[in-house]
Amino acid sequence: MIVPSLLLEVGNHQVEVAETLIGVGRFLVIFVAARALAELLVRFQLPTILGELVAGVLIGASGLHLVVPPETHAELNQGLIRLVSTLSAVPSDAVQPIYDETFPILQGVSTLGLYALLFLTGLESELDELVAVGAQASTVALAGVVLPFALGTFGLMAIFQVDLIPAVFAGASMTATSIGITASVFGELKYLKTREGQIVIGAAVLDDILGIVILAVVVALAGGGQLEIGPIVKLCIAAALFVVVALALSRTAAPAFDWVLDQLKAPGEVIVASFLVLCLCCFAATAIGLEAALGAFAAGLILSGSKRTHAIQTAVVPLVSLFATIFFVLIGTSMDLSVINPADPANRSGLVIAAFLFVVAVLGKLASGWSFVSDKPTNRLVVGLGMMPRGEVGLIFLGLGTSAGLLTPSLEAAVLLMVIGTTFLAPVLLRLVLSRKTDVAEQPA
């Protein structure tokens, strides 16, 4: 957070020093841990996002207690308290309150990172290229959303007597597909331009849209504490309209955006104008009762039709590298992994739920590979595996559900294990399957 102190209030100089040390120190801990684990996982050809998540668990409330979100009520690491207290001359029992008071700034920055990431995802959606495999991709996306959602929600309610809202949310969190992880594995193995690669990427984009609409609906409804048919229909229509308008605007508004940029003369015009579009879309989404996250994604979709997408990407990527990392690390820090410790008999049912979610998450997406009709030979196993990793999209669901208090600790841990498991398993299995079939690679779609 870096010293809001001086800019915040006339305060005790020692307190300001402590705030600075805590704010800067927290950034240091987060980035050293996240980077170290990301570098490790990259060397095993695994997604860096897993490293950021595990880094969060290691430094967080289930680990070293160096970064503890106030809502976990975990105590700060004693060594850290002593260090800050010694360097700033603030009494040691004042360190935790200062720590808690400055934490919202870190969370605000991490939310900025989340929206920047969603904006970038929207921006990178190449809508035109997906039309060629549109029919197959739509079927795969729909099957990949409906199967895990229905199986997960009803299974949790029928078998495990989970309440409606948490069951719906856990089900919804299984609908995601991470474009980033699948695209990077396919790209690495030169499989991106094959028929399977195009279907999976197309389905993943549609999946993002469907998933984020489901998210917007579920979070908005959960705010009311119950699910009723009337508001669901209204919100679904609002969300669908919002996305349709965004898609229409990406054809018509993007040229206007480019024209405005051409008129601007003060420097920094690309990032400032993009940020304004992002804010406008977030405001509009919130004002009509949807999640601001949907607005961020829609802003990216709208600008994906711009001539300047490359410049926008260049400007936004550093924001994502810094702040989305904080978002993923913070998810790890707030996880209570003691609820899945198998040594404690009280946790057995939680572990069974986690295993159930994982199996449904794997089978639901695998089955989507067999959901479409095709007149050309297509490796359905590759399509199913490509749809499997939940990655950052699953984590965004988990993060929003956790902070809205929609999930029990054991369900939170189960969803986290499901996300980690699928994100880990998919690249490993894809490499195994594809490396046997390198002869089909790079056939045009």
Of residues 177 through 236, those in contact with a copy of itself by CB under 8 A are: 219-220, 223-224
Q: How far is the CB of 353 from a copy of itself (least distance, A)?
A: 22
- Sequence-ordered list of residues with C-beta below 8 angstroms from that of 250, at least 6 positions apart, any chain: 127, 301, 302, 303, 304, 305
The residue from 344, 405, 432, 438 that contacts a copy of itself (CB under 8 A) is 405
Restricted to residues 122-181, the positions that interact with a copy of itself (CB under 8 A) are none
Q: Between 156 and 324, whose beta carbon lies closer to a copy of itself?
A: 324
Rounded CA-CA distance 42/208 in Å is 25
In our burial notation (b when 16+ CB lie closer than 10 A, e otherwise), range 89-100 reads: ebeeebbbebbb
The pair of three-digit structure tokens given for residue 308, joined into one six-digit string: 């300047």
The pair of three-digit structure tokens given for residue 61, joined into one six-digit string: 């409330």
The residue from 236, 280, 381, 433 that contacts a copy of itself (CB under 8 A) is 280
7 binds a copy of itself (CB under 8 A): yes
The residue from 144, 305, 399, 421 that contacts a copy of itself (CB under 8 A) is 399
Q: Between 16 and 392, whose beta carbon lies closer to a copy of itself?
A: 16
Would you put residue 32 in left (φ > 0), alpha (ψ -120 to 50) or beta?
alpha
H or E element, residue 109: helix 95-123
Q: What angle (nearest 5°) sits at the alpha carbon of residue 423, between those of residues 31 and 342?
A: 90
Q: How far is the CB of 359 from a copy of itself (least distance, A)?
A: 30
Question: What is the identity of the amino acid at 364?
Answer: G
Looking at 25-33, 129-137, 162-170, 376-384, which segment touches a copy of itself (CB under 8 A)?
A: 25-33
Rounded CA-CA distance 180/236 in Å is 26
**Cα-Cα end-to-end distance for the chain:** 47
The residue from 39, 75, 163, 228 that contacts a copy of itself (CB under 8 A) is 39
Q: How far is the CB of 58 from a copy of itself (least distance, A)?
A: 17
The residue from 33, 38, 209, 360 that contacts a copy of itself (CB under 8 A) is 38
Q: How many CB atoms lie within 10 A of CB 18?
A: 24
* Site pattern 85..124 for a copy of itself (x: CB under 8 A): --x--------------x-xx-xxxxxx--x---------
Q: How far is the CB of 10 from a copy of itself (least distance, A)?
A: 3
The residue from 131, 164, 233, 272 that contacts a copy of itself (CB under 8 A) is 272
Q: How far is the CB of 2 from a copy of itself (least distance, A)?
A: 5
Contact 252, 275 (CB under 8 A): no
Q: How far is the CB of 301 from a copy of itself (least distance, A)?
A: 18
Q: How far is the CB of 321 from a copy of itself (least distance, A)?
A: 3
Contact 160, 353 (CB under 8 A): yes
Q: How far is the CB of 312 from a copy of itself (least distance, A)?
A: 10
Looking at 2-10, 352-360, 364-372, 384-392, which segment touches a copy of itself (CB under 8 A)?
A: 2-10
Q: How far is the CB of 225 from a copy of itself (least distance, A)?
A: 9
Restricted to residues 231-270, the positions that interact with a copy of itself (CB under 8 A) are 264-268
Q: How many CB atoms lie within 10 A of CB 25?
A: 18
Would you put residue 89 in left (φ > 0), alpha (ψ -120 to 50) or beta?
left
Q: How far is the CB of 378 from a copy of itself (least distance, A)?
A: 31
Task: Choose among 189, 96, 181: nearest CA to 426.
Answer: 181
Rounded CA-CA distance 140/326 in Å is 32
The residue from 199, 212, 292, 301 that contacts a copy of itself (CB under 8 A) is 292
Rounded CA-CA distance 167/161 in Å is 9
Restricted to residues 348-377, the positions that interact with a copy of itself (CB under 8 A) are none
Torsion of CA 241, 388, 152, 338, to 10 degrees: -120
